[in-house]
């Protein structure tokens, strides 16, 4: 489950000197591409109010169109409801520029061993991957300091190395500069 903000509202911390909307859309498409190529991922759902992004999604990706962006947690609740309680569910932010299918597959295998799991971002305050095993109701608490809130909800932190692409979401100009060499082809093409 990948919630995606409309490009016009995304990546405000990158500043005005870069094509933020293009970068945000490229990040989302690269992240979706990784998810579709990850062993063990049965379905990829994208929740967005960004009509232009919806038209660019590859075949096989399920789209939940929002009339207006309702926020990450509401978007994930809608996606989880569509998947149903009988399947494992995982949320992934749409800005993991350096993510690889092997890293995602390994993390999902670890997550399947616990009721709920979370991976912190590189700073340790935010959350990247959040999961709920089959039979466990979905809940999430994204936003500032979401990692501690997810732990409070019962998510078990997963031991993922600090250099993993799962830990590095792209938010700032420094993130862009540091992650660009490892980024997907779309991001490298617009940054």
For the chain, give every domain's residue range: 2-190
For residues 137 and 126, give the distance between their C-alpha atoms in angstroms, rounded to a whole number.
21
pLDDT attached to residue 15: 56
| CATH class of segment(s) 2-190 | alpha beta
Residue 176: exposed, middle, or buried by beta-carbon count in 10 A (0-12, 13-18, 19+)? buried
Name the percent of the chain lying above pLDDT 90: 64
Summary mean pLDDT of the chain:
88
Specify the higher pLDDT residue, 127 or 174: 127
Long-range contacts of 55-58 (CB under 8 A, 24+ apart): 56/25, 56/29, 57/29, 57/32, 58/32, 58/33
What is the CB-side half-sphere exposure of residue 170 using CA atoms within 13 A? 33
pLDDT attached to residue 151: 98
Tokens of 149: 């809130």
Specify the higher pLDDT residue, 16 or 137: 137
In the predicted model, is pLDDT for residue 189 greater than 90? no
pLDDT attached to residue 20: 63
> Locate tokens 């929002």: which residue?
66
pLDDT attached to residue 173: 66
For CA atoms 70, 71, 74, 79, the dihedral sign is positive
Report whether 156 contacts 112 (CB < 8 A).
Answer: no
pLDDT confidence bin for 51, thresholds 50/70/90: confident
pLDDT attached to residue 24: 83
In the predicted model, is pLDDT for residue 180 greater than 70? no
pLDDT attached to residue 110: 97
- Name which of 41-45, 141-145, 179-183 the model is least confident about: 179-183
In the predicted model, is pLDDT for residue 103 greater than 70? yes
Tokens of 178: 């540091």
pTM for this entry: 0.88
pLDDT confidence bin for 53, thresholds 50/70/90: confident
Report whether 130 contacts 117 (CB < 8 A).
Answer: yes
């Amino acid at each position: 489950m990948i919630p995606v903000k409309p490009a016009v509202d995304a990546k405000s911390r990158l500043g005005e000197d870069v094509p933020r909307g293009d970068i945000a859309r490229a990040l989302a498409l690269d992240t979706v591409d990784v998810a579709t190529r990850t062993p063990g991922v049965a379905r990829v759902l994208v929740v967005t109010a960004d009509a232009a992004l919806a038209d660019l999604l590859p075949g096989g990706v399920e789209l939940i169109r929002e009339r207006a962006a309702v926020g990450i947690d509401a978007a994930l609740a809608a996606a989880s409801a569509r998947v149903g309680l009988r399947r494992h569910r995982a949320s992934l932010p749409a800005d993991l520029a350096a993510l690889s299918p092997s890293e995602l597959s390994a993390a999902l295998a670890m997550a399947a061993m616990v009721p709920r799991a979370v991976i912190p971002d590189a700073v340790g305050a935010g959350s990247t991957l959040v999961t709920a095993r089959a039979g466990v109701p979905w809940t999430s608490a994204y936003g500032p300091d979401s990692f501690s809130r997810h732990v409070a909800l019962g998510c078990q932190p997963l031991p993922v190395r600090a250099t993993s692409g799962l830990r590095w979401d792209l938010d700032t100009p420094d993130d862009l500069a540091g992650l660009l060499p490892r980024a997907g082809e779309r991001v490298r093409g617009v940054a």
